[in-house]
Structure 1
Amino acid sequence: MKQKLDFSGREQLYYQIYDIMFQEIVNGKYAEKDLLPAESELMERYGVSRATVRRAMDLLKDEGLIEKKRGYGTYVKSLVPKSYNRKTVDFVWKHQGEKQELIKKVVSQQVIPADEETAGWLHLEPGVPVIEIVRLWYKKEEPMYLEKSYLDYQWIPEALERDFAKESLRMYYVNRCHVKMAKAEEEIYAVKAGKDEAELLRIREGDAIFFTKRIPSDEQGVHRSFVKSYYRGDCCYLGVKQEL
């Protein structure tokens, strides 16, 4: 069965396939050393040429996610792309041995006036329009974490028309905005879930959760978004990487 792509010409087909497979890998559909579908199968699935599939796979290889072995096929080499900002502290999901893909859903996508905190991080005036994208990540139909992203409406008003349940914000910046994020500042807190967060995460108000504020910057140091995330404390823990 063919998976739908946008053949209007607004976006390169190989980039669309790359983005789909990128998300499938980093969100857990595949594990390390898992074989990926053959080129012929991907051609049939997406209704594209072999050259298009190969270009998408080359991008995944450049990210360090996949490797091709003669006589064996193409397999997942890593679940962490080279382009991700290196973290010393990260969230680790409990029961990672269970192979289950994280699925994201858009809760809301709208234009709102920027509050003082959002305006400050994005170097805007309070009250100017920003795009708020609220998404939930699920595992086995259970909500795992909630993310609220804020973008300057004047910079990319067309983002309102995108489906960020299927498309990653990261690839939208690269492919449509021609902007690559170079680094990010992040603050991590242990807090009690508020009423709205508790309802979306299906936990009790006041339950312990992790709360983060993340501010990605492009290669020129411009803050392109402000992201607030809420992680269920019963689903993950903080992992610390340290070189000795």
Structure 2
Amino acid sequence: MIFQQIAKLLKTEINSDSYNVGDLLPSEVELSLRYNVSRNTLRKALDILKCEGIIQRKHGSGTFIRKKIFTAHIEQMNSFSEIAYKNGKETSSQIMKFELQPASQAISDALNLTSGELVYYVKRLRFIEDKPAQLEETWLSVSRFPDLTISHMRKSKFSYIEKECNTKIIGTFETFIPTFPSAEIASILHISIKDPILKIQTQALDNSHSPLDYSILHCNIFEFQVKYFFPR
């Protein structure tokens, strides 16, 4: 639906540096012209944002911003759960798959394993305040983490590795790829196949520079945005 696409564009605009909480949005006439849609279509889009608590419409005064999309400012490596917690947001995880499988050549290369060695494959959907923010696929060595359970993966993977396995994580390699979601991923994240997502490939390392995991993250940019600071 066009009005749903307009709602997502408005979310992105509201979350830019151009607006702050409490600011007044442009008039319906101006927004209709900007997005080249009818006022009826625009009102349906604004209704979506109102239901999500992002805007407040006051008769005779206009439309005001009540809150912005969750954006985290990162200056060091943190897990998804840690990022949200530090910003006062609640997270939860839905485990969609938790199974053992022989490592493919690509996964064995990423984890420095022998091809065919057993790995955990975990597919989980990460929520921020009940909104689907990230679909994660993770592979970990069974021999290195023999006690890993579904319960651990419902919480913080990094917390399990560091606190229960007494393994220091020194950092991660991350590769960022802007792309479009498959029909399956779009359905899971409640977006359209025409909506861009950020695909991130990650590999955490221990203090011996050995890989701990390999993950592919599919991020819903309309619900979860991160700003990184890299020291010079």
How high is the TM-score relative to the length of structure 1? 0.55
Distance 1:239 1:81 in 2: 6
Could you tell me how far 1:141 is from its partner in structure 2?
Answer: 2.5
How high is the TM-score relative to the length of structure 2? 0.58
Could you tell me how far 1:221 is from its partner in structure 2?
Answer: 0.8
Secondary structure of residue in 1 paired with 2:159: helix
> Which residue matches 2:180?
192
Secondary structure of residue in 1 paired with 2:217: strand
Distance 1:236 1:203 in 2: 13
Secondary structure of residue in 2 paired with 1:239: strand
Secondary structure of residue in 2 paired with 1:103: strand
Deviations 1:2-31 (A, max 9, x none): xxxxxxxxxxxxxxxxxxxxxxxxxxxxxx
CA contact (8 A) 2:102 2:117 kept: yes
Distance 1:128 1:81 in 2: 35
> Which residue matches 2:113?
124
Taking every aligned residue pair, what percent have the same amino acid on both sides? Answer: 16
Deviations 1:71-116 (A, max 9, x none): xxxxxxxx9999x538xxxxx99xxx9x642222222211122222
Could you tell me how far 1:170 is from its partner in structure 2?
Answer: 1.3
1:136 to 125, 131, 139: 125
CA contact (8 A) 1:105 1:165 kept: no
CA contact (8 A) 1:143 1:201 kept: yes
Secondary structure of residue in 2 paired with 1:163: helix
> Which residue matches 1:203?
191
Distance 1:140 1:238 in 2: 16
Unaligned runs of 5+ in 1: 1-78, 87-91
Distance 1:220 1:136 in 2: 30
Q: How large is the Cα RMSD of the aligned pairs?
A: 3.1
Distance 1:103 1:230 in 2: 16
Secondary structure of residue in 2 paired with 1:164: helix
Cα 1:205–1:152, aligned 2, differ >3 Å: closer, same or farther?
same
Q: Does 1:218 align with 2:206?
A: yes
CA contact (8 A) 1:112 1:132 kept: yes
Could you tell me how far 1:237 is from its partner in structure 2?
Answer: 3.9
Distance 1:222 1:140 in 2: 34
Cα 1:243–1:149, aligned 2, differ >3 Å: closer, same or farther?
closer
Higher alpha-carbon Rg: 2
Could you tell me how far 1:238 is from its partner in structure 2?
Answer: 4.8
Could you tell me how far 1:162 is from its partner in structure 2?
Answer: 4.2
Cα 1:80–1:164, aligned 2, differ >3 Å: closer, same or farther?
farther
> Which residue matches 2:90?
101
Summarize the alignment of residues 144-155 of structure 1 with structure 2, pairs less than 5 Å apart. 144-155=133-144
Distance 1:157 1:243 in 2: 37
Distance 1:186 1:242 in 2: 13
Unaligned runs of 5+ in 2: 1-71
Distance 2:205 2:231 in 1: 26
> Which residue matches 1:177?
165
> Which residue matches 2:77?
85
Cα 1:104–1:222, aligned 2, differ >3 Å: closer, same or farther?
same
Cα 1:205–1:125, aligned 2, differ >3 Å: closer, same or farther?
farther
> Which residue matches 2:15?
none
1:113 to 102, 117, 120: 102
* One-letter amino acid of the counterpart of residue 153, structure 1: V
Distance 1:220 1:150 in 2: 19
Q: How many residues align?
A: 156
